[in-house]
Amino acid sequence: VTHDLSEGFTLGTRLLVFDKVRHDPQAPSAYGARITYDIPLNLDRHATREAVAALPAHVTERLKTA
């Protein structure tokens, strides 16, 4: 768990971003909307630097428009 997008992409291969509070009377314990990104891995099962470097900005843009 982190509040830093760059750290999240560095530590894992899947990032879940909760971008806003959600109030759903049918699911009162559910949390906000979710954006999920899977980081592509190379043949050695490591994320490429380009993939990691590009994704945080993309997530930030999605959060601004959500």
Q: How many CA atoms lie within 13 A of 3 on its CB side?
A: 0
- By C-alpha distance, which of 23, 18, 14, 21 is closest to 62? 18
In the prediction, which pLDDT does 19 show? 63
Sequential DSSP letters for 42-59: -TTS-B-HHHHHHHHHHH
Query: What would the pLDDT profile of 7-57 be if each residue is shown by its tens digit?
Result: 776 777 777 776 666 667 777 776 666 667 777 666 666 666 676 667 667
Contact 31, 20 (CB under 8 A): no
- Per DSSP, 29 falls in state T
For residue 61, the enclosing domain spans 5-65
Question: What's the whole-model pTM score?
Answer: 0.36
Structural domains in the chain (count) = 1
Unique residue bearing structure tokens 């806003």: 20
